[in-house]
């Protein structure tokens, strides 16, 4: 399945090979039964220790798949230390989480459930709750043809649902396909985006999400040892402040920005990123153009209901 997605994206990229950004496909193949069950799990606070938090608590549609907070808040109102990355189009990321510690959405799905300051639970306890609920038990059995629910099944369903959370038909994608034109400001912004070097890291279908990069590669930023960067995984000095490049899809909806949510506005994010990672001090005019372009990356959000 993952292979198929990449083939779709690759073909998509080839068709528009002249540009560093490729449009999001209209649909991706997915299993509707699994996705329907995955959606119920995604919205169900039963997966958190105190029944207070669901996946949807930190991944809201109105905030482009994030929660609009600097850092997320988990059970018992515990403060996290990372900005919730968007769930939208996450299927196009090469790894999941800011530091890429999950290889795919299935690996990712159980992460927040186990995180003591997020959902504070364990997959085993989640399984034990779910199997006591006849509707869940029946739904899992119908799909898996097994009487036992496993934590992998939970991950599988949620990941399948997340495949449906893609946002095609952004103005920029329509432009790439020759079905729309950009305004003067948007075009200027896109030109700057390419010529200044933003597109070096923010490219592909997800305009990011396909490489690790250092935050502050030109002009260093202070390292926070509490942050979940690549260093937290590898303990290699070179991996300090290294994160997965975030997608810029729907970026106008997902303030605040950066792994720590420290950039309250797009303007702040664009200026600081240009400064630290390109060594460029943008003028207000330039950042305004780039923001005009970034706003064209807002796609058509999937409709959603607990019943599909």
With CB under 8 A as the contact rule, the residue among 7, 27, 32, 51 that binds a second copy is: 51
Inter-residue long-range contacts of 226-233, CB under 8 Å, 24+ positions, other chains counted: 226/81, 227/81, 227/82, 227/259, 227/260, 228/81, 228/82, 228/97, 228/98, 228/99, 228/101, 228/259, 229/98, 229/99, 229/259, 230/99, 230/100, 232/99, 233/99, 233/100, 233/101
What are φ and ψ of residue 121, in 5° steps? -130, -175
In the residue annotation, 135 being an active-site residue is answered as: no
User: Which amino acids are annotated as binding site for heme c, given as ranges?
Assistant: 55, 58-59, 198, 201-202, 273
Question: Where does this chain touch a second copy (CB under 8 A) — which range of 70-78, 90-98, 221-229, 264-272?
Answer: 70-78
| DSSP E strands, the chain | 212-214, 242-244
Task: Scan residues 152-181 and list those touching a second copy (CB under 8 A).
Answer: none
With CB under 8 A as the contact rule, the residue among 135, 218, 220, 279 that binds a second copy is: 135
Residue 221 CB-density burial (10 A; 0-12 exposed, 13-18 middle, 19+ buried): middle
Say if CB 171 and CB 212 are below 8 A apart.
no
- What is the pattern of x (binds a second copy, CB under 8 A) and - over residues 111-130? ------------------x-
Question: Is residue 44 a contact residue for a second copy (CB under 8 A)?
Answer: yes
What are φ and ψ of residue 161, in 5° steps? -60, -40
Please state the separation of Cα 201 from the chain's center in Å.
16
Question: Is residue 136 a contact residue for a second copy (CB under 8 A)?
Answer: yes
* Between 154 and 176, CB nearer to a second copy: 154
| DSSP E strands, 131-261 | 212-214, 242-244
Minimum distance between the CB of residue 46 and a second copy, rounded to whole angstroms?
4
Question: Is residue 60 a contact residue for a second copy (CB under 8 A)?
Answer: yes
Say if CB 192 and CB 184 are below 8 A apart.
no
With CB under 8 A as the contact rule, the residue among 63, 98, 175, 243 that binds a second copy is: 63
Question: Is residue 34 a contact residue for a second copy (CB under 8 A)?
Answer: no
* Between 73 and 198, CB nearer to a second copy: 73
Say if CB 37 and CB 149 are below 8 A apart.
no
Q: Which of 19, 69, 107, 118 is catalytic?
A: 118
Minimum distance between the CB of residue 305 and a second copy, rounded to whole angstroms?
4
* Between 220 and 302, CB nearer to a second copy: 302
Angle at 53 between CA 121 and CA 302, to 5 degrees: 120
With CB under 8 A as the contact rule, the residue among 61, 101, 114, 194 that binds a second copy is: 61
Question: Is residue 265 a contact residue for a second copy (CB under 8 A)?
Answer: no
Which of the residues are catalytic? 118
Instruction: Give residues in contact with a second copy (CB under 8 A).
Output: 40, 43-46, 50-53, 57, 60-63, 68, 73, 75-77, 129, 133-136, 253, 301, 303-307
């Amino acid at each position: 399945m993952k292979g198929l997605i990449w083939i779709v994206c690759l073909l998509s990229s080839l068709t528009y090979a002249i540009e560093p950004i490729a449009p999001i496909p209209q649909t991706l193949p997915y299993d509707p039964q699994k996705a329907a069950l995955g959606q119920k799990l995604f919205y169900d606070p039963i997966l958190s220790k105190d029944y207070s938090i669901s996946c949807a608590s930190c991944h809201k549609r109105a905030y482009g798949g994030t929660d609009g907070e600097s850092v997320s808040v988990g059970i018992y109102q515990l403060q996290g230390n990372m900005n919730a990355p968007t769930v939208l189009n996450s299927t196009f990321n090469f790894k999941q989480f800011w530091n890429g510690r999950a290889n795919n959405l299935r690996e990712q799905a159980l992460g927040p459930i186990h995180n003591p300051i997020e959902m504070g639970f364990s997959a085993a306890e989640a399984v034990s709750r779910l199997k006591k609920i006849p509707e869940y038990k029946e739904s899992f059995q119908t799909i898996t043809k097994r009487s036992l629910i496993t934590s992998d099944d939970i991950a599988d369903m949620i990941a399948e649902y997340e495949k449906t959370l893609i946002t095609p038909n952004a103005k920029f994608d329509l432009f790439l396909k020759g079905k729309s034109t950009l305004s003067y400001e948007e075009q200027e912004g896109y030109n700057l985006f390419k010529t200044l070097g933003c597109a070096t890291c923010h490219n592909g279908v997800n305009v990011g999400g396909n490489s690790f990069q250092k935050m502050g590669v030109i002009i260093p930023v202070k390292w926070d040892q509490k942050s979940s960067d690549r260093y937290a995984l590898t303990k290699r000095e070179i991996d300090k402040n290294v994160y997965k490049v975030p997608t810029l899809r729907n970026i106008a909806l997902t303030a605040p920005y950066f792994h720590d949510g420290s950039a309250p506005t797009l303007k702040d994010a664009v200026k600081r990123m240009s400064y630290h990672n390109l060594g460029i001090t943008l003028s207000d005019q330039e950042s305004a153009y780039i923001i005009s372009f970034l706003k064209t990356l807002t796609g058509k959000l999937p409709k959603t209901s607990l019943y599909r």
